Amino acid sequence: MILGIDHFVLTVRSLEVTLDFYERVLGMRRSIEPGRPASLIFGTQKINVHESGHTFEPKARHPMPGGADFCLVTNAAPEETLARLAGENVPVELGPVERTGARGKMISIYFRDPDGNLVEVSRYSGS
């Protein structure tokens, strides 16, 4: 019945700090349209970004910065991801480590965004 994820929402302290971080560190593209949430576009998905105190309806019951933990898929080798993080002075919390994702074995690297959300970037084995 469910085919995939279209988007999810991050509630953040600073819209500009968050958009800049995901653009610089992960190569996402920002989209800002009047009357709509800001978003970060990547592949065929997006992350809508709500600034705390300026959220859109409907929303989570208790939206708050730093409460997210999610995994993003890359085709970059783990060494490339580590180099990009190092180049942007983003500390790695864990990894590279082997994990099992929705499609099988993958190598994951964990770090935190400016709000403390746990971001996992993974490459599937054989990709």
Tracing tokens 């190598």 back to the chain, one arrives at 107
Respond yes or no: is residue 23 known to be catalytic. Answer: no
Of residues 33, 51, 57, 120, which has the active-site annotation?
120
Residues acting as catalytic residues = 120
